[in-house]
């Protein structure tokens, strides 16, 4: 179980503040602690990561993820996807429509004309069954019922969080279905490597590298146009490390559509499903680094362009562009683009994903 002694944790969060009952299910806070003494704090409400406590180049420990300090904040916060699990569908589906086995499906339109992040009550707003397996590992499980949010089939989902002694947060996903369906799971972690504060500093000076030669341009509602374009010669080229601020306000239609970076990258892969390097972020101020490795074909880069300065844990506030999201996933609107990597899950098959966020210092 999580620590019962109050505030002996690095993150300063109080377990009691995360305990309530929602629709007959108990919520709680779980602390993962590695042998170095660093921490990841997770709630089973939405699988929200509410703290990641890691050191800077001076050894000073701070929280590098945007999260909430209580279950009330988690349930009513201005950003419903703040560092939560996303499902059954990460990102967008055009007009919320897709066809499967000759049958048309209509999902909730909760992002202008489109479907976003699993609908009105997605995985981010569900209480998961939780089992802490030792000090460093937590398994979350839920059965997404047939027809939940308009999706077909029952989806049996397990997500496991492990915090290794190398300061790697490993997130592994496993899902099965009893009927042909679509699935695209991700975690919407909002990383602030300088450390959350009031206000949390901008990410514009942070250096980013992305292992992708191609990205997906979108229309003005953030739906991919269907083109797969080279990053070469565009603001989206992070093959050589550069600061976010260099091109985040570039005179470019795609940047204007996203109000900054809010686009899916086609990760360079030697073979489908291989666990490989996706991205690295370096914060020059603190010296902290974050590397992302994933088995997924794509990664949504989002620079918190729509944050408004809302409040989070321990008095922190989260202004515009104070975080970066590296959402490992299949491509947006894939059900309507047959040439995108398949998002179909059949009975007897397993959906599997492994994504690693590794924290370091330079």
Cβ of 328: how many Cβ atoms within 10 Å?
Answer: 27
83 pLDDT tier (thresholds 50, 70, 90): very high
Instruction: Assess whether pLDDT exceeds 80 at residue 3.
Output: no
Instruction: Assess whether pLDDT exceeds 50 at residue 122.
Output: yes
For the segment(s) 196-352, the CATH number from 3.30.300.30, 3.30.470.20, 3.30.1330.60, 2.70.98.10 is: 2.70.98.10
Q: Chain-centre distance of CA 209, in angstroms?
A: 18
Q: For the whole prediction, is pTM greater than 0.95?
A: yes
5 pLDDT tier (thresholds 50, 70, 90): very low
Residue at token pair 């009031």: 198
For residue 106 the two structure tokens come to 């209509």
Give catalytic status of residue 327 as yes or no.
Answer: yes
Nearest to 82 by CA among 187, 218, 4, 203: 187
User: What pLDDT shows up at residue 6?
Assistant: 44
Catalytic residue among 187, 188, 263, 330: 188
Mean pLDDT of 59-85: 97
For residue 172 the two structure tokens come to 């592994």
Pair 144, 121: CB distance under 8 Å: no
pLDDT in tens, 186-214: 999 999 999 999 999 999 999 999 999 99
For residue 301 the two structure tokens come to 């880069």
Give catalytic status of residue 188 as yes or no.
Answer: yes
For residue 194 the two structure tokens come to 């300088």
User: What pLDDT shows up at residue 347?
Assistant: 98
With residue 168 as reference, give the H or E element that holds it.
Answer: strand 168-177
Q: Chain-centre distance of CA 51, in angstroms?
A: 14
Instruction: Assess whether pLDDT exceeds 90 at residue 171.
Output: yes
Mean pLDDT of 31-45: 98
With residue 300 as reference, give the H or E element that holds it.
Answer: strand 298-302
Instruction: Assess whether pLDDT exceeds 80 at residue 18.
Output: yes
Q: Chain-centre distance of CA 59, in angstroms?
A: 27
User: What pLDDT shows up at residue 4?
Assistant: 43
User: What pLDDT shows up at residue 202?
Assistant: 98
Q: Percent of the chain at pLDDT above 90?
A: 98
Q: What is the DSSP string of 85-115?
A: EE-SB-SEEGGGEEEETTEEEE----BTTBE
User: What pLDDT shows up at residue 8?
Assistant: 76
Cβ-in-10-Å burial (0-12, 13-18, 19+) of 253 comes to: exposed
CA distance 171 to 296: 12
Cβ-in-10-Å burial (0-12, 13-18, 19+) of 8 comes to: exposed
Pair 77, 125: CB distance under 8 Å: no
Mean pLDDT of 28-38: 97
Q: Chain-centre distance of CA 103, in angstroms?
A: 30
Mean pLDDT of 309-318: 95
Cβ of 7: how many Cβ atoms within 10 Å?
Answer: 11
Instruction: Assess whether pLDDT exceeds 80 at residue 82.
Output: yes
Instruction: Assess whether pLDDT exceeds 90 at residue 7.
Output: no
Instruction: Assess whether pLDDT exceeds 90 at residue 227.
Output: yes
Cβ-in-10-Å burial (0-12, 13-18, 19+) of 340 comes to: buried
Residue at token pair 């997924």: 296
Pair 66, 192: CB distance under 8 Å: yes
Catalytic residue among 79, 148, 291, 327: 327
């Amino acid at each position: 179980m999580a620590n019962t002694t109050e505030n002996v944790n690095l993150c300063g969060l109080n377990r009691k503040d995360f305990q309530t009952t929602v629709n007959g299910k108990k919520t709680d806070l779980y602390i993962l602690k590695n042998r170095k003494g660093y921490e990841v704090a997770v709630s089973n409400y939405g699988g929200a990561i509410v703290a990641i406590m890691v050191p800077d180049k001076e050894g000073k420990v701070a929280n590098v993820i945007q999260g909430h300090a209580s279950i009330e904040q988690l349930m009513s916060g201005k950003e419903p996807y703040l560092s939560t699990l996303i499902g059954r569908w990460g990102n967008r589906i055009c007009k919320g429509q897709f066809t499967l086995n000759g049958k048309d499906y209509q999902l909730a339109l909760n992002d202008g004309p489109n479907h976003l992040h699993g609908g009105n009550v997605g995985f981010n707003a569900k209480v998961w069954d939780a089992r802490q397996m030792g000090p460093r590992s937590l398994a979350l499980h839920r059965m997404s019922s047939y027809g939940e949010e308009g999706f077909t089939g029952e989806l049996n989902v397990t997500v496991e969080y492990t915090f290794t002694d190398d300061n790697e947060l490993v997130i592994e996903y496993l899902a099965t279905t009893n009927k042909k369906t679509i699935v695209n799971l991700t975690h919407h972690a909002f990383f602030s490597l300088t450390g959350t504060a009031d206000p949390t500093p901008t990410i514009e000076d942070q250096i980013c590298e992305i292992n992708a030669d191609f990205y997906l341009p979108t229309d003005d509602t953030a739906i991919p146009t269907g083109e797969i374009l080279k990053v070469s010669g565009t603001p989206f080229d992070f093959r050589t490390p550069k600061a976010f601020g260099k091109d985040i306000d570039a005179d470019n239609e795609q940047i204007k559509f996203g109000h900054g970076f809010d686009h899916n990258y086609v990760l360079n892969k030697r073979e489908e499903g291989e666990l490989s390097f996706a991205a690295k972020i370096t914060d020059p101020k603190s010296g902290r680094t974050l590397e992302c490795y994933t088995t997924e074909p794509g990664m949504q880069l989002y620079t918190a362009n729509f944050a408004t300065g809302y409040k989070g844990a321990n008095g922190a506030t989260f202004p515009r562009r104070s975080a970066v999201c590296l959402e490992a996933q299949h491509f947006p609107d894939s059900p309507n683009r047959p040439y995108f990597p398949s998002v179909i899950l059949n009975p007897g098959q397993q959906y599997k994903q492994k994504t690693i966020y590794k924290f370091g210092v330079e």
